[in-house]
Amino acid sequence: MQARIDAIRNQPVPAQRLLINGQWQEGQDAATPVVSPIDGRQITTLATGSPDDLDRAVAAARAAYVAGHWSRMPPPARKKILLAIADRLEAEALDIAVLGVRDNGTEMAMALKAEPLGAAATFRYYAEALDKIYGEIAPTAPDVLGLIHRGPVGVVGAIVPWNMPLMIGAWKLAPALAMGNSVVLKPAELASLSLLRLAALCTDCGLPDGVLNVVTGKGAVVGAALAGHMDVDVLAFTGSNGVGRQLLLASAQSNLKRVYLELGGKSPNIIFADAPDLERAARVAAQAIFRNAGQVCVAGSRLLVEASVHDAVVEQVARHAAALRVGDPLDLTTEVGAVCSETQLRQNLAHVAQAEAEGAHRVTGGARILSDTGGTYMQPTVFDGVTPDMTLAREEVFGPVLAVLPFADEAEAVRLANDTVFGLASAVWTGNLSRAHRMVGAVEAGVVHVNTYGGSDLTVPLGGHRQSGNGHDKSLHALDKYVNLKTAWIQL
């Protein structure tokens, strides 16, 4: 596989365009350079969409929805197209993964599995589900028939982040399309290439014109126009807490569109002294924060360790962190790839400086490395001596920086875990089954792992509590975002 990767890694990437009503078009503004975090070199350009471009995309999506070529297409026919998309994603997985890695720097081993193959699995899952979602008959009086119909909402806007754009994009696109909606997609400026490739596959596989439209460009321009558009019915977003607030405000100031948000996290990874295997817990704790250079929404960025094993666990985590191979993400032996951009790397390093200024102890890492490559790389970083009031314990870094906090007992572990405005993910390591169940109930998070971290599949939902958002991606529950319920009350 490495030879194939090396053969395609430098293939030219044509200038990218917008997809509106089935046609690839230039943006109205000057194109935006795409710079790879691997080596700092420009690999192509993105079309820079304008509010006018966005208006045309929404109009195309609405016209396609009203025409009914997709929204009223029989479920078996919709299924066939979505399955064809899944097949193409699998067939072209390596090429798509390499393209995505060149765009955002995720290590190849992770990108291949999570991005094209994960997206393929998502399209296949919702393709198989779409003709198994039924309406309901309500238990009414004998002379009344109450029917509950499920139908598409109309036009869905989707704004997708740069860290795992294809996987997260599929989590939104596949269920929205499965339910018969039209979609206007806004990828992140820093990572649009894999989603544009997906859009091309969708058109190749027979998705009708206008059902999927892609407008690249600046979030403050295209994203804002999508959020405030009067003819968008639902907006689905994954990204930062600050942007999520702006989208809610835009909804309130426009047409009160439903807004579903998967926002940030400061997820606690809790290791008790009775964990079945402390060495494994430490190794997985390092993976939970350092994979994809910490650029994962559910990253276990706060490590809470019972005091009696604190020193030993910190030593083991630091050892695993220091041993991780950071470098060229297209090298299959690399374990931690590039930080997505120069701006993000500077933010990460600022968090390191802030933590030291506030008195935290840097155990390992904390510096930029491989600067001679032209890329953006950072050492996996572990801070001990972190207290709950420190910035590092409260703010999301979205980088390879781990904060370690000790706790005395179960009660304090729960208090520390929940001492955050976020509530996306968490983990508990214990050999005590009763404690595991108590912690699952007590920790305020959308996901509570037990004796593992990550690895859940499409059968279970992902969604945040508190300020980590609302609504769910993955599982059949994701379909709820993209359907309208309609009651028929029939007097017999």
Catalytic residues: 262
- The torsion region of residue 131 among left (phi > 0), alpha (psi -120 to 50) and beta comes to alpha
**Alpha carbons 305 and 272: distance in angstroms, whole number:** 6
Among residues 50, 71, 51, 63, which one has the least CA distance to residue 22?
63
- Cα diameter, the chain: 79
Phi then psi for 330, rounded to 5 degrees? -90, 0
Among residues 446, 463, 353, which one has the least CA distance to residue 401?
353
Run of H or E residues at 290: helix 278-290
CB within 8 A of 31, min separation 6: which ones? Answer: 15, 45, 46, 47, 48
Among residues 282, 284, 227, 216, which one has the least CA distance to residue 254?
227
Single-letter residue type at 316:
Q
Run of H or E residues at 402: strand 401-407
**Alpha carbons 402 and 75: distance in angstroms, whole number:** 47
The HSE-up count of residue 416 (CA atoms within 13 Å, CB side) is: 28
Question: Residue for token digits 């997906």?
Answer: 198
CA dihedral 54, 59, 62, 67 (to 10 degrees): -140
CB atoms within 10 A of CB 30: 9
